[in-house]
Amino acid sequence: MRLALLAALVGIGLAAPQPAPQPAASTPAEDALADLVQGYLWPASDANVRVAEDALKADASLTDMTRERFHDLEEAMRRGRRSYPPAPPPAGGRFAVEMLSVKVPAGPDVPVLVQLPSRYDARTEWPLMFAMHGGPPGTASQAQAGAERMLKVWATAADAAGWVVAAPALTPSVTAGARTEQRLPYEVFHPEQAKAVIAALRAHYRIDSDRMVSTGISLGSNYSIAFATSHPDWFSAIVPVSTEGDSRELLLRNLKTVPVYILEGTQDKNIRAISGPRALRDILSSFGYDLTYREFGDRAHEGFQEHYDDVLRWLGSRPRQVYPREVLRMPNAAITPLGRRVHWVEADTRQAFVRAAVISPSRIDITARWARTVKLYLHDRLVNLDQPIDISVNGVKSPIGKVPRSAATALANARARGDERLIDAAEVTVTVPTTSDAVAIARGAYEEMAPKHVEGTLSFWEMYATRALEERVPTLGIEGVEEALPAPVNAAAEQIAVRLKQVDPAGPLASAGLKSGDLLIELGGEPFFRDRGGVSGLRHWVIRELRSEPAPYAVVVWRDGRRVESVAPLKLGPYAEPKPTNGPDLEIVRWALAGSRVFWRAPLAWTATRTRSGTNPRESPNNGPTAPR
């Protein structure tokens, strides 16, 4: 059994599709673990769930497991589902394109086109290319057409390399009104919607979650960057094609564990400027991140499909980093909120900066700012759970002792994340110290990462999407100033409150019963920190996580010497076109009118620069095959 597990762990990076681990002769105890895993993670009915949960609670040995028995649990989890729906019979050596209709949170159903490789067999795990089209589309039919194009451009290379290609029609991003030079109302494809699509794909096909890659052309490329910077443990790599790029260093630092392969044309007129993707190249290279950048001097806004064979070969040696020894969570101002959990580190606030490193098998060092606590999800591939663990937070040591391996932790977290390959053996929460020395260490670590590259103008896609959010929530209906917390409140380092000066009785927070003079301490569990924007900073993150359906946000104020709690249901309002401004921005007009079109042409001679960890060898001119128009 342990040999099978070792093969799964070591062989996970091979380029060819890998057979799913098959159980050898098992003991009754191992069979019971396998049944528990199947019933808990992939139940056939609600009754199966209850049986699995009862079994988990009844067996005390599952809460303090030996390394050997936990390995048996892992092996049962890594084998995945016992069965998958049968693939349709191939015709002429190829599978027909399948379409799934996926219900996603806070949006319309998403049609997903799927092309299986001709060798597909549900007994074997297959890598996934998650391919998103350009846009935003004007109609659902345009979104469908975009998905069809994405499937077409990847089909040949993916079939030869043995990859599943899935192209979602980005119906959640269909525009909601007329385009003007200043306005293009649409919602981004949210991470939770993409996650729902991936979950549906993994329920239908045997996909290796350690070899899932996100790619896209135009808007789809920007979504790939957004998903990887907000959830860097989702994909093994990203492949942005004809991208607007990004010049925000704080955002891009979150790509520390995500390899990036970029294809771009110098003559691309559907982005602000070629300086956008070049800034992305320069910043990632300066960090020493895993990057390949190819820019074609005579090419424009297109797909570059003749280079996908090279891309897939490059991806074959880059499986997902499941347990990186260093983790960075860098807060930023992007439209896609950064997940609180990044790999094996989870902050208790949205604004937290966290840097964590495994120093030895029994020691972890953490630097954290703008957080009260940090939760660590541990595994024997990070530390030796048979020994006491020492954790240092901002220079303050916290001897933790031994942390038991738990099947309940592993299964509950795998089910919550929808990924049986992200296995947590144990978890522990540490408090961020508030001493002046600890605060100085955290501040210094954050300031060391101050951006060194000049930040460019916000990309078209994000500018329009941000304006749409601001249009739908023009104000939170409160005004206030920063103020120190009252003494009875147990405060985190640098935590403050906001003294409300005005409260709009018709504003979004009116139902919480706020009053002028209240000291606002938290909203949605999020505290305020000194010099982090106060009410404007609050609105900045709130509107980025609101959806069309209301969600409850806990509100905590200090009033008349005591803590008062209430709840406000918040949601995005209707689109409300603002009054026209002074003259049109011709660059914006050009991008807006282009809409969801993706431009193709036959490739001519090209030049490219390829960058990895800062090197820039030149490539020779080449003539590729004709690309679809």
**CA neighbor of 42 nearest in space, from 192, 166, 206, 163:** 206
In total, the chain counts a number of residues equal to 629
Tens digit of pLDDT for each residue in 523-540? Answer: 999 999 999 999 999 999
Q: Look at residue 214 and tell me whether its pLDDT is greater than 50.
A: yes
How far is residue 488's CA from residue 471's CA, in Å, rounded to a whole number?
39
At residue 617, the 3 state secondary structure works out as coil
User: 106's torsion region: left (phi>0), alpha (psi -120 to 50) or beta?
Assistant: left
User: Using an 8 Å Cβ cutoff, are 394 and 430 in contact?
Assistant: no
If you average pLDDT over residues 354-377, what whole number do you get? 98
- Per-residue 3-state assignment (H helix, E strand, C coil) for 344-362: CEEECCCCCEEEEEEEECC
> How would residue 19 be classed by pLDDT, with cut points 50, 70 and 90?
low
For every residue of 176-219, DSSP letters joined together read -S---SS--------HHHHHHHHHHHHHHS-EEEEEEEEEEETH
**CA neighbor of 69 nearest in space, from 24, 23, 34:** 34
The whole-number pLDDT of residue 87 equals: 86
Rg of the chain (C-alpha set): 25
Alpha-helix runs per DSSP H in 473-612:
534-545, 586-594
Tens digit of pLDDT for each residue in 580-628? Answer: 655 444 444 444 444 434 333 333 323 333 444 333 333 322 223 323 2
251 Cβ neighbours under 8 A, 6+ residues apart: 229, 330, 332, 333, 334
The whole-number pLDDT of residue 595 equals: 42
How far is residue 486's CA from residue 206's CA, in Å, rounded to a whole number?
55
For every residue of 111-132, DSSP letters joined together read EEEEE--TT--TTEEEEEEEEE
User: Using an 8 Å Cβ cutoff, are 102 and 110 in contact?
Assistant: yes
What percentage of residues in the chain have a pLDDT greater than 90? 83
Q: Is the bond preceding residue 137 a cis peptide, omega within 30 degrees?
A: no
**CA neighbor of 41 nearest in space, from 236, 202, 164, 193:** 202
Weakest-pLDDT range from 2-11, 79-88, 338-347: 2-11
How far is residue 611's CA from residue 233's CA, in Å, rounded to a whole number?
23
192 Cβ neighbours under 8 A, 6+ residues apart: 104, 105, 106
The whole-number pLDDT of residue 431 equals: 97
Tens digit of pLDDT for each residue in 64-90? Answer: 999 999 999 999 999 999 999 988 888
- Residue type at 459 in one-letter notation: S
User: 605's torsion region: left (phi>0), alpha (psi -120 to 50) or beta?
Assistant: beta
Q: Look at residue 15 and tell me whether its pLDDT is greater than 50.
A: no
If you average pLDDT over residues 410-431, what whole number do you get? 97
Q: Look at residue 13 and tell me whether its pLDDT is greater than 70.
A: no
User: Using an 8 Å Cβ cutoff, are 140 and 173 in contact?
Assistant: no
Pairing of strands 207-217, 237-241: parallel
Average model confidence (pLDDT) across the chain: 89
> How would residue 10 be classed by pLDDT, with cut points 50, 70 and 90?
very low
30 Cβ neighbours under 8 A, 6+ residues apart: 1, 23, 72, 76
User: Using an 8 Å Cβ cutoff, are 479 and 509 in contact?
Assistant: no
CA distances for 585 relative to 137, 181, 456, 596, angstroms: 21, 6, 17, 19
What percentage of residues in the chain have a pLDDT greater than 70? 88
The whole-number pLDDT of residue 25 equals: 58
The whole-number pLDDT of residue 167 equals: 98
- Strand-pairing partners, residue 618, are 609
CA distances for 455 relative to 195, 279, 288, 414, 510, angstroms: 30, 9, 19, 38, 37
> How would residue 346 be classed by pLDDT, with cut points 50, 70 and 90?
very high
How far is residue 387's CA from residue 26's CA, in Å, rounded to a whole number?
29
For every residue of 310-357, DSSP letters joined together read HHHHHHTT----SS-SEEEE-----SSPPPSEETTEEESSSS-EEEEE
The whole-number pLDDT of residue 488 equals: 92
Tens digit of pLDDT for each residue in 136-170? Answer: 999 999 999 999 999 999 999 999 999 999 999 99
Q: Is the bond preceding residue 136 a cis peptide, omega within 30 degrees?
A: yes
The whole-number pLDDT of residue 9 equals: 33
Element (H, E) at 18: strand 18-19
The whole-number pLDDT of residue 30 equals: 79
The whole-number pLDDT of residue 442 equals: 98
If you average pLDDT over residues 458-485, what whole number do you get? 96
Distance between terminal CA atoms of the chain? 52
How far is residue 5's CA from residue 78's CA, in Å, rounded to a whole number?
8
Angle at 604 between CA 600 and CA 609, to 5 degrees: 95
How far is residue 68's CA from residue 380's CA, in Å, rounded to a whole number?
11
**CA neighbor of 188 nearest in space, from 421, 463, 536, 581:** 463
> How would residue 508 be classed by pLDDT, with cut points 50, 70 and 90?
very high
**CA neighbor of 198 nearest in space, from 133, 112, 116:** 112
User: Using an 8 Å Cβ cutoff, are 573 and 472 in contact?
Assistant: yes
Q: Look at residue 2 and tell me whether its pLDDT is greater than 90.
A: no
Q: Look at residue 314 and tell me whether its pLDDT is greater than 90.
A: yes
| Two structure tokens written together for 74 | 């892992």
Tens digit of pLDDT for each residue in 563-572? Answer: 999 999 999 9
The whole-number pLDDT of residue 278 equals: 98
